[in-house]
Amino acid sequence: MEDKAYIHDDEYYYEIIRRNMRKYRNQHNLTQQQLADLTDMSREYICDIENTSRNKHVSIAVLGRIAEVLNMPIGDFFIDD
């Protein structure tokens, strides 16, 4: 079996998710508070996810809730533009 070299760590993907979450939230003209209300989360939690300095990791279930509210495929959060 050949050894595989993995290029990216968790933080790399979390950063992509953070950027995309902010981008898609803004495309839907939603504030953090509005997104929080629609997903039944706190504004602070949404802020923590989007803010790189807070180092808050998001679960797949939470990301799924956000994707449902934004009416988008969950996979779009992982696209690195």
User: What CATH number does the domain containing 25 carry?
Assistant: 1.10.260.40
Q: Of 75, 63, 66, 80, whose CA–CA distance to 19 is shortest? A: 80
Range of the domain at 62: 10-76
Whether 50 contacts 21, CB under 8 Å: yes
pLDDT in tens, 3-26: 667 788 888 899 999 999 999 999
Q: Would 33 be classed as within a structural domain?
A: yes
**Domains in the chain, number:** 1
Write down the pTM of the prediction: 0.84
State the CB neighbour count (10 A cutoff) for residue 39. Answer: 17
User: What is the identity of the amino acid at 18?
Assistant: R
Is residue 54 very low, low, confident or very high in pLDDT (cuts 50, 70, 90)? confident
